[in-house]
Chains A and B, each alone.
Chain A
């Protein structure tokens, strides 16, 4: 087991290096660099003091050096915790992204829990009542969920909520807490607002999880050992939950890791529409303004989060399913 974990960690390292290279390439994709444009603009205004400062920044980030040197300078800074400067906000990227990343992760993890809590019972129901009216309705709903883009659902629900409840449910915090420091009361307030985005983001994921759970369970229910369990007179509920569902859930654990990218994407689009204080809107703005250190850092952190999520899913699966070999 220890060897398995170590090997998995070793696999992560090249992935992380690759991710950093891609993020860096994306940072540098737009033609020209921000500083040059900014210096030209300042010169027109006859401003020389800022120019000096910007020149300092340029040599600090090595922007006058070849691209591979720039990468090494950037990645060394990154590991030390200096993610560069957001030119748009004129602030270190580190100060801008911390809380937003935390909220994105909170939102994604809550969404994942939500999809599991909703889809496992429905999947079990659909499989045990195959082709019943209920199964058909859930099948249709889950297909509809998979087909509806989350951000459009957000838009429609937004209008509905506005009419029905007023503005009280929008955003992640009530107005009095938006700029307040973190406290227990603020946390409770956050929980009260969390459900709406969670439902919106989770809608499509729930659909596919229901389908997968239903399919898995149907496969398992045909197995001889289920037949044996029934033949020896076990209660049906025990056969289903203790014998069949326990095994049918295993593939869902590995899917949990794989479904994270979709949740992050959905979270991002939904947050842009609902203007939540998570990574989505800031990332979107950073891309539009070509504020590339900010955008690149977001991309990098989200991907690291995904890699870690996959890693945890692998470990959980190995722990849950004794049939998996560690070598």
Chain B
């Protein structure tokens, strides 16, 4: 199987010191992977480099078999940036943002086509924000904003989507919904890479993880990769790993681990409490 997007020996940085060095990574169709590492380890930079938004110091990026030229982006790739980077005051509605993603489909017409509107609405529905389609984006909640961006990335009908910290700042319930959605999409053939520093809610649920810390540490299935040794290398701290049936729980101290254990109990195993909205 040919990789959709591949980086070879990639080194990137902003000023004098590199942010990461010598990265080799390939993304294949239908793959759902997590890019895992501590804050500031270069995950965002790697994603942006793969998208052609940051000039690499060394190495190359290969998209669909062809070497990517400096300053260009790989075709048929979607990008969901971190929520903080966007100007929420901008006068557009959710639907208008999603429609922007249809640009690639007919570049020379000043207005959107009916098909654009149809696809946009379908996607808004799919990600569960059809009811706020006509609201200005500044009025949306964090989770809704995240999904607008995802819809925008998907509306272009890409083969690969890169998401930068899509679950940060969301509550568990929203996170789980997003992960479900991503899993569905990946089963339908979409390749997805998302970055996260959250192990227990996100990384341990993904079929494939890439451990990253200013360079590639290791990649594989969570069961193989989440060992104290590798976690130490990735996060620079001693981590406790608890395996329970299909699940893995990780934490740097026992108290938190127990807390996580409680939080991660399936619905049926929770003590009785009134349903929260």
A binds B: no
B-side residues, CB < 8 A to A, are none
A-side residues, CB < 8 A to B, are none
